[in-house]
Amino acid sequence: MKRRPVSPWAIFFSCIVTALLFAACSTQKNTSATRRWHAFNARYNTYFNGSQAFIEGSLEKENGHKDNFTEQLPLYPAGTKTGKDIGKQNFDRAIEKAEKAIKRHSIKKRPEWTKSRRKTPKDIEWLGRREYNPFIWKAWLLLGKSQFQKGEFEEAAATFSYMGRLYATQPAIYGISRAWLAKSYAELGWIYDAEDVITKMKRDSMDYRAVKDWDYAYCDYYLKSGQRKQAITYLKKVIKHEKRKKQRARQWYLLGQLLAQEGDKAAAYKSFSKVIKLSPPYELSFNARIAQTEVIGTGNAKKMVGRLKRMAASDNNKDYLDQVYYAIGNIHLMNRDTLKAIAAYEEGYKKATRSGIEKGVLLLTLGNIYWERQQYSDARRCYGEAIGLLDKERPDYQQLSDRSVVLDKLVPHTETIHLQDSLQYLASCPEQERNAAIDRQIELLKKKEKEERDAELDKQAEEMQRQQASTGNRQTNNRQQATNTQPTTDKSGVWYFYNPTTVSQGKAAFERLWGKRENIDNWRRSNQTVVKFDNPEEANNGEQEETEENGSETSEKQDKGQKDKEEKEADDESQDPHKREYYLAQIPFTEEQKQQSDDLLKPALLEAGIIIKDEMDNIPASCKHLERLLQNWPDFERNDETCYHLFLAYSRQGKDTKAANMVETLKKNHPESPYTKLLSNPHYLEDSRWGEHIEDSIYAATYEAFKADNSQRVKANVTISDERFEQGENRAKFLFIGALTMLKEGDSQTCVKMMTEVVEKHPTSEVAEMAGMIVKGVKEGKALQTGGFDLGDVWSRRSSSAKADSTAADTLSLELNTAHVVMLAFKTDSVNSNQMLYELAKYNFTNFLVRNFDINVSGEEGITRMTVSGFRSWEEATEYRKQLSKEFAPLQKPSSGVRLFVVSEQNLSLLGTSFSFAEYDDFYKKNMEPLAMPEEKLLTEPEEVTTQPKEEEEDDNEEDDDNDDWDGTEESNGDDQEVFDFEEDFYR
């Protein structure tokens, strides 16, 4: 059948209709039809997909976030370290869809208006809008909320700030955007910015449709700013607005926490009861019950402890026992029963099955109690484990870290003191009392080992039960067959020695029955000399033949072997902590052993006293250790140090008489001690208070005198440093300047001597390297040149010597069309570099909008370099330098000492190394400065010129899930103003 040809007129009209349809869909036209068309497509294509991704991400965050119930809960989990990344993939998709909806369907063009038509206030507002798609505001809101939930609060704040400007004429949308802006600022910790938004919003009339969002915003702001009373007021409103059950339970829990902090325990108890009634996830319900026990009155303490113990007995709470016993300990602590509190905390520590924040808080609390009771070994144990379980951002984490470091230094000394005191006491006890004390220690050891074995067995049994449950009933028959055919397999059908759990269970059971045994043959026999034979007759024959042949020789060997065995058993008993001999071997019975014990005690007492005084600020405890040392061992070789630290301790306590006695003791018993010289100094009190400032001012005067060639003043001040500030911070600099002064006067021998002292006694000082180079040169036979020189001429320094046959023009590049930098160089510490950096960044940002200049700061050889990069040629860098020298305020001060250099990146690496700044300046003035500059302004051009392509119709098949097809059949009803709905947001 022959097809009829298509009429050219049909093709023509089809093209016209298609063109009209595309024209109607363009965002460059603003009619009722285009507005409705773009609103419809934005809503049911890109926005719909984005909103679904946002809902999925919010649910993922809600279900996946684990709250830290030991601290105040946040209103929004997105602000926590663990909650911010949950649901990230879904929020990224929501952001992508929101941006695409805005890009495709935003209508900025103003609608056409008949000039003869009179404008009403509504018309004026309508024509003053900056966005005419009636639905696109929800895409903006979705974009900001997704950024917020993703934890990108700065980006969210920028989105909501722009949204507020975009919809400034529409009160409802404006109010919602400002509420979210305030929340973003609050989550960032920008309290003053959030307060500014709130204050301005209070002055304006708030649309009723934005009230709910503002209740959330007020609540979050007051929580972040620590205003609990106001936060409680708005949190109650938030709970009424909240529709999600789990979130409402969290908010009731948060309300209970706030009320408890305010002291309203009855209301807090009721709030926690509300949590339980909502039947939230078990962990939240469990923590609410725990929190109830903490807010109940002291009169009901016994009742609450009983309730908590019943909770501890429940199998449902076996993973939360640390929290249960922590709550019991808190009740005892509230009733001032510290011993019971410690026992409860220790029980919770032993029974903890999780290594999380809850266990860390328990250990921290227990460690604080031990710290206050001066049980430093136990405190160290608790702090050492807690520091790895708690978040570094906790407000008390720094104190925990500092205490842990101090205890690491102190505890070895306190344990030495405790051990040696105990051993010496046991040495002086009657034998019966000593043996009883040893037996008690052995019983404690056995009890501890039994508890550890039982705990290990329970753990292994639970693991085995878990494995068996996971295997399932369907493998029962297979396991039975495997058992019948292969006795060495366990219930799971795996060979015994391939199952580590079963092996460990067997080992534990063996040790519980037989104890620890060496892995040898005939381990049951007490006499290991008996040889095992597979054939009993063979064994009998062998023994009989050997006996007949060896006779008396065998008998002698057996006697010797028996003796050796007894000696070995005695040695073994002295190494076994389950035997008395183990402890008796450590007790110092003889005078020599007691002297060895004292030699361990004396330094331990001194070091412990110093640490407790200096790093723990516990003066009475420090004096107790130091006074004991001085009283019991007056001949200790380090007692001069003991007297000095006792002097400091007494001075801090205001005990001037005792402090003076320590000075007299030092003068009498240790006249040559450096501590005696220090305390005998008439300027000691003045130097101890203001010595640092006095030394700094004397050094500054010495440096100025050195530059002014006032040698007498320099030598006089160096002498003051010798007498008063031998251990001062500027001691090396005094010696260095003094050495240069002696060299200037021709005394090179004294100069080398003082330089050597700098190198040996102050190797880490700023001048040690330079002094070392001088000393090394003298040792190599080089002669020092006397006479004047300028120490402050840093501009003439370079780190490597130039070759004798080279010139600056031969080495430095003259290339102009290459990347250049502009360098601001100044003597280190002569200018506030941070302020200079801020001023320079501000100048670049405000004066060069189309260019992006990078600033880098570095320092070397006493010169700080601040380089501005991003110039494509010498002409651009020179133009920037000229403009900067005229307009940059810090350069207008002649006293600033800042020098400007234009340097190519090729020459930059040579500056300060092969060539000094002075040499480069001469090179630049000779070769570069005379060159002519172009007349046009180069810095007003952007680095990359891009051409904005004309808006083209996007392919309908660009994405599978975004189909923007629309038949365009809706008719325009004129310039009507669409009424949009405010649906309840899924997440406020």
Domain assignments of the chain as residue spans, ordered by start: 685-781, 820-834+847-928
Confidence at residue 195, expressed as pLDDT on a 0 to 100 scale:
93
In the structure, what pLDDT confidence band is assigned to residue 158 with cuts at 50, 70 and 90? very high
What average pLDDT does range 675-701 have in this prediction? 84
Q: 966 exposed, middle or buried (CB, 10 Å; 0-12, 13-18, 19+)?
A: middle
Higher-pLDDT residue of 802 and 294 is 294
Q: Is the pLDDT of residue 216 over 70?
A: yes
Please state, in angstroms and rounded to a whole number, the distance separating the CA atoms of residues 374 and 946.
Answer: 71
* Mean pLDDT across 427-437: 88
What pLDDT does residue 722 have? 87
pLDDT at 336: 87
Q: Which residue has the higher pLDDT, 15 or 661?
A: 661
Which pLDDT belongs to residue 299? 67
How high is the mean pLDDT of the chain?
A: 79
Q: Are strands 820-827 and 899-904 parallel, antiparallel or unpaired?
A: antiparallel
Distance separating alpha carbons of residues 180 and 988, to the nearest angstrom: 9
Distance CA 841, CA 47 (A): 40
**Most confident option among 553-562, 595-604, 803-812, 972-981:** 595-604
Q: What share of the chain is helix, strand, coil (3-state, %, to 5)?
A: 65, 5, 30
* Section 91-103 average pLDDT: 91
Lowest mean pLDDT among 201-215, 319-333, 436-450, 678-692: 678-692
* pLDDT at residue 212 greater than cutoff 80: yes
* Best CA proximity match to 291, nearest among 321, 309, 270: 270
pLDDT score, position 488: 41
Q: Tell me, what's the pLDDT at 557?
A: 53
Listing DSSP states for 124-147 in one string gives HHHHT-S---TTHHHHHHHHHHHH
Predicted pLDDT at 41: 83
Any idea which of 263-277, 366-380, 747-761 has the lowest mean pLDDT? 747-761
Q: Is 982 or 365 the better-scoring residue by pLDDT?
A: 365
Q: What is the pLDDT of residue 259?
A: 94
Which of residues 688 and 273 earns the better pLDDT score? 273
* Superfamily designation of domain 685-781: Tetratricopeptide repeat domain (1.25.40.10)
What pLDDT, on the 0 to 100 scale, is given for residue 258?
A: 95
Which of 67-81, 366-380, 677-691, 892-906 has maximum average pLDDT? 366-380
pLDDT in the model for residue 9:
56
The DSSP string of 357-370 is HHHHHHHHHHHHHH
User: Is a pLDDT exceeding 50 seen at residue 17?
Assistant: no
For tokens 């063979």, the residue is: 538
Residues 497-531 pLDDT 10s: 445 555 556 665 665 555 555 555 555 544 443 33
What's the mean pLDDT in 280-287? 91
pTM: 0.64
Q: What pLDDT score was predicted for residue 573?
A: 62
- For 57, 210, 730, the CA distances from 986, given in Å and listed in that order, are 11, 15, 65
d(CA 831, CA 245): 60
Read off the pLDDT band of 552 (50, 70, 90): low
Among 362-371, 808-817, 854-863, the minimum mean pLDDT is found in 808-817
CATH assignment of 820-834+847-928, among 1.25.40, 3.20.20, 1.10.1760, 3.30.70: 3.30.70
Is residue 810 predicted with pLDDT exceeding 60? no
Of residues 644 and 888, more confidence is placed in: 644
- Between 75 and 971, the more confident residue is 75
DSSP secondary structure of 187-208:
HHT-HHHHHHHHHHHHHSPPPG
pLDDT at 691: 80
Compute the average pLDDT of residues 541-564: 52
pLDDT band at 940, cuts 50/70/90?
low
Beta-ladder partners of 911:
915
Q: What percent of the chain has pLDDT over 70?
A: 76
